Amino acid sequence: NAGVTQTPKFQVLKTGQSMTLQCAQDMNHNSMYWYRQDPGMGLRLIYYSASEGTTDKGEVPNGYNVSRLNKREFSLRLESAAPSQTSVYFCASSEIRGGAEAFFGQGTRLTVV
Amino acid sequence: AQSVAQPEDQVNVAEGNPLTVKCTYSVSGNPYLFWYVQYPNRGLQFLLKYITGDNLVKGSYGFEAEFNKSQTSFHLKKPSALVSDSALYFCAVRDTNDYKLSFGAGTTVTVRA
């Protein structure tokens, strides 16, 4: 049982390049989340999805787009990368029922130069 | 809007001494509360949660947390800390009427031998 799988694990982009971070979960969870982690800032929510076909903005959505392709997959796209998007990105999923904890992937370390 | 505050960036304790990591929260309705731990270069691991009922909840690795509704707090505790407890700890909250999961900035715990 793989849980939450993120690809790639590491990526270096040049300013202005685009890329998509992939996330897949095999736990049949309805809710999925994208966070970024920066030193001293904790985890900040970028986007989340309560179910297939629905997405909502979190605290820091600017510069990102998401796609909930199906129940398993939730991708995060940077259309024109900026140095301020250098961060570690985490995907998570959880059951929709009340009080269920979220499960996290191992993260993607992105550097924009 | 919902939010989480972890007032201490760092907590330092000697091995064998009690460990407390503080967390306060704000939600519109009632909260689900969570604690996670992150070891270097790893994803987040779930420790424990409060859903309803008993205000003292017990979790993994000897950790426990006390929910205090009047003080809107959910402090993490361990009676006797181990060097291996040294890590980054995150508190998280979700309103029972929403799917958005918000995290605090994190507290770095260092347990010295």
Whether residue B54 lies within 8 A of chain A, CB to CB, comes out as no
User: Percent of chain B having pLDDT more than 70?
Assistant: 100
Q: Which residues from A are below 8 Å from B34, CB to CB? A: 101-102
Are B44 and A104 within 8 A, CB to CB? Answer: yes
**Of A4, A45, A106, which is closest to B100 when you measure between CB atoms?**
A45
Are A48 and B99 within 8 A, CB to CB? Answer: yes
Are A101 and B104 within 8 A, CB to CB? Answer: no
Q: Which residues from A are below 8 Å from B46, CB to CB? A: 101-103
Mean pLDDT by groups of 10 residues along chain A of 113 residues: 90 97 96 93 93 93 95 96 97 86 95 97
Q: Which residues from B are below 8 Å from A45, CB to CB? A: 100-103
**Of A96, A106, A107, which is closest to B99 when you measure between CB atoms?**
A96
Are A45 and B43 within 8 A, CB to CB? Answer: no
- Residues B49-92 have pLDDT tens digits of 999 889 999 998 999 999 999 999 999 999 999 999 999 999 99
Average pLDDT of chain B to the nearest whole number: 95
Are A40 and B9 within 8 A, CB to CB? Answer: yes
**Of A40, A42, A105, which is closest to B43 when you measure between CB atoms?**
A105
pLDDT given at position A1: 62
pLDDT given at position A2: 76
Are B101 and A99 within 8 A, CB to CB? Answer: no
Nearest-neighbour CA in chain A from B48: distance (Å): 9
Are A99 and B49 within 8 A, CB to CB? Answer: yes
* Residue B42 pLDDT > 80: yes
Q: Which pairs from A9-14 meet CB under 8 Å and 24+ separation?
A: A9/A106, A9/A107, A9/A108, A9/A109, A10/A108, A10/A109, A10/A110, A11/A108, A11/A109, A11/A110, A11/A111, A12/A110, A12/A111, A12/A112, A12/A113, A13/A78, A13/A81, A13/A110, A13/A111, A13/A112, A13/A113, A14/A81, A14/A112, A14/A113
pLDDT given at position B1: 81
d(CA A47, CA A37): 14
pLDDT given at position A41: 85
